[in-house]
Amino acid sequence: HAKRQGCGSLLIHTCQMEEAMRRRTQIEQALRRAVSAGEIEPFFQPIVDLRTGEPIGFECLARWTDPDFGSVPPSVFIPIAEERGLIELLTQLLLEKACIAARDWPRRMFLSFNLSPTQLVDPETTRLVLSIIVATRFDPRRLEIEITETGVMSDPACAKQIVSQFRDVGIHISLDDFGTGQSSLGRLRDFHFDKLKIDRSFVSVVLEDRPSEHIVKAILALCDGLDIDVIAEGIESREQAEKLVELGCQGGQGYYFGTPADAASTVALLQRLSRRSDLKDDAREATL
């Protein structure tokens, strides 16, 4: 009897797996169509100077709303794109749109763009990124590429070559989600990252969890010595922001400072900010 029950649950399990696979394939097909129709949009989340709260740049985050599936988060469709060979086309579409959008920002604002781990084992990635910079006439010194430790891990030599080709043309390199993957200090030494982003899992508990606070402190000390800029990810409250400033962190990102917004809203935000600083300048001049 028990055996039969076991078989039954195995059958249910198999059914669920088949159902999940079918769904993945449906999403893949919808994604393929959306990519070729250019329907994936870049959204932009501010990265701020923690001392002023003002944006210094924006991270591009992919957004997709399908007519049938509704809004599909990148945590779902990016892995499918990687697995089903769509990531290159998706990157091309998105980076192109992002560079065009970022040309309307003040020149000092950088654009930060995520590359998938699978793209760091593909020598074609350099050509793809460089051709888009050239085609959109985007200043490479304003571009930052975010990579993760997972991406560097599987073929460090290839990743290193891609990174050094980016650096040769002035692109900055940022290590994303630091502290969650296979962190290796040797990697920090060998890759010469310009920037490091402390993962949200440390930031979200920095006020109440002493070990996390100590880890954040240690990362800041390490990066200070290595001359790497630090961004704390996932800041959701003023208290967290203040704590990070107190610990000596200079850069931040999170819902407290701004959620990801589309290209038009981002330009509108930047225009409001520049009008506000014009007003400040006028006030300063008036008092002089």
Which residues have CB under 8 Å from 107's CB, separation 6+? 139, 142
74 binds ligand C2E (CB under 6 A): yes
118 binds ligand C2E (CB under 6 A): no
Task: Output the six-digit token pair for 277.
Answer: 């600083």
Give me Rg for the CA atoms of the chain: 21
Which residues have CB under 8 Å from 269's CB, separation 6+? 46, 55, 258, 261
Instruction: Name which of 126 and 253 has its Cβ closer to Mg ion.
Output: 253
Any idea which residue has 């990531």 for tokens?
87
With CB under 5 A as the rule, give the number of residues binding Mg ion: 5
Instruction: Name which of 58 and 105 has its Cβ closer to ligand C2E.
Output: 58
233-252: contacts with Mg ion (CB under 5 A): 233
Residue 269 burial class via C-beta count within 10 angstroms: exposed 0-12, middle 13-18, buried 19 and up: middle
Query: What's the closest the beta carbon of residue 112 comes to Mg ion, in angstroms?
Result: 7
Candidates 234, 244, 266, 270; binder of ligand C2E (CB under 6 A) is 234
What span, in angstroms and rounded, lies between the C-alpha atoms of 104 and 221? 36
146 binds Mg ion (CB under 5 A): yes
144-183: contacts with ligand C2E (CB under 6 A): 146, 176-177
Beta-bridge partners for 242:
none
The catalytic residue positions are: 233
2-41: contacts with ligand C2E (CB under 6 A): none
Instruction: Name which of 74 and 248 has its Cβ closer to Mg ion.
Output: 74
Write each residue from 160 to 179 as x if it is in contact with Mg ion (CB under 5 A), else as -, in one continuous string. Answer: ----------------xx--
Task: With CA atoms as reference, report the closest residue to 80 among 31, 14, 113.
Answer: 31
Any idea which residue has 């993962």 for tokens?
199
Interacting residues with ligand C2E (CB under 6 A): 45, 60-62, 73-75, 78, 94, 114-116, 146, 176-177, 200, 234-236, 253-255, 260
Residue numbers at the binding site for Mg ion (CB under 5 A) = 114, 146, 176-177, 233
